[in-house]
Structure 1
Amino acid sequence: METRYHTPLSPVEMSRFGCEGEWPYGMADRVHFHELDSLNHVNNVVYFSWFENIRVRYMQEWGLSDYSATSDNPRLVVKNVSADYKREMHMGEDYLVTARTKEFRNTSFTMEYALWSDGLRATGEAVVVSLEPDGSGKRPLSDDLKQRFITLDGALPSA
C-alpha cells in the first residue's frame, strides 16, 4: 500500500507506522533535507513544526477554526508546548504524526501528539487557549465542541 501524504489517514493506514492506541487523527509525511541538523538527524525544533502542522489541520477538520480573519471563530493561541524525544529521525524516513485532545477546561484544552515511524519516535503536548476573535478576553468552549472532544478524542473534562 502506498503512503498518502498530507491527508488524514485511516486507522489501518496509521497502524503501518507502528501507531499504538486510540489516535483519531493522523497524517503522514517524509523527512526532508532542510529538516536535518549538522548531526544528520531531524533538528529538535522541527518536531514543533510538525506538531503545529497537525494542530492547524486538526482544528480545521474538527471545526474549531477556519483561520479566516473575517470570521467569528475564536482566536486559538498556544499557551505552552513541549516535546519528548524517544528516537532520532533521518533523511527520507516516512513518518506519521497524530493528534488528539486529552482534556479540556472552560476556555482551554490540552492536545497531545505522537510521532511514529517504525514505532514511537516522539511525543508532545500543547495547551491551547480560546480567545475572542479580537483578543479582548477568553472565549468559553461551546458545549458542542466539548462533546466533540469527548466523542472523537476520548477527552475528559479537567478540574
Structure 2
Amino acid sequence: MRASYIKDLTTWASEFKFSVQVSVRFSETDMYGHLNNTVTFAYYEYARIEYLKQIGLMNDWLDPAGKTIPVVADLQCDYLKQVFFDEALDIYVKAASIGNSSVDVHYMAKNARDQIVFTGRGSIVQISKDTGKGIAWTQKEKSLFVGESIK
C-alpha cells in the first residue's frame, strides 16, 4: 500500500464506522468485465452523500433557503485489486481531518471476501451559495463529525 494518506493500513481501516453496499452493474464494466476506473468516483459520491445524510449535514445543504453548499475540491482513488461485474462492494466513508471550511474524507472499498479493493480520499469545502467563497464550519457542524476519526 503506497497511498500517502494511509500511514498504517490496519489502523486506518479500523477507523471506518459507516458504509453502504453497491453491486457492480454490467454497464459499469469494460469489455473484459472489469469495473471501469471512473465508476469508483460515482461510488464515492453515493457513499459520501449517504454518510453526510446520516450525520445530519445534507438537510441544511438541501434547504432552498440555506446559505451554504458543499463542493468537492479534489478526489483521488488508489486501486488495489480487480473488481468485476456483479460483485458486491462495501464502500466505507470517514472524516479524516477537518479544516476551517473543509473536511478531508477518506474512502475504502471491500469485496465480499473482506479484501480492500480500492481506497481514496478527497476534500469537501463548504462554500457560500452567494459568493462561492469558503464558509467556516460552525461548532454545531463540527460536532456532527464527532465520533469519527478526526485528527
TM-score band by shorter chain is: 0.7 to 0.9
CA RMSD of aligned residues (A): 1.5
Contact kept in structure 2, 1:107 and 1:139, CA below 8 Å: yes
Pick one of 134, 140, 145 that aligns with 2:141. 145
Per-residue CA deviation, residues 45-91 of structure 1 (Å, 9 max, x unaligned), is 00010001111111122122235251315210001000000001111
SS in 1 for 2:56: coil
Aligned match of 1:84: 78
Indicate yes or no: 2:33 matched with 1:37.
no
| Match for residue 55 of structure 2 among 59, 62, 67 | 62
Deviation at 1:32, TM superposition (A): 0.8
Q: Specify whether residues 47 and 102 from structure 1 end up closer, same or farther in structure 2 by C-alpha distance, changes over 3 A only.
A: same
The size of the alignment, in residue pairs, is 136
Using the alignment, how far apart are the partners of 2:84 and 2:98 within structure 1?
A: 35
For 1:97 and 1:111, the matched residues in 2 are separated by 13
Does 2:127 align with 1:134?
Answer: no
Gaps of 5+ in 1: 1-19
**1:21 maps to which residue?**
14
Q: Does 1:114 align with 2:82?
A: no
Which residue of structure 1 aligns with residue 40 of structure 2? 47
Structure 1: which amino acid aligns with 2:143? Q
Structure 2 distance, partners of 1:63, 1:36, is: 33
Q: Which moved more, 1:137-146 or 1:45-54?
A: 137-146
Q: Distance in 2 between matches of 1:100 and 1:85?
A: 18
Determine if contact 1:35/1:42 at 8 Å carries over to the other structure. Answer: yes
Runs of 5+ consecutive residues of structure 2 not aligned to the other structure? 1-12
Runs of 4 or more above 3 Å deviation: none
Worse overlay, 22-31 or 78-87: 22-31
Corresponding residue for 1:98?
92
TM-score w.r.t. length of structure 1:
0.79
Identical-residue share of aligned pairs (%): 21
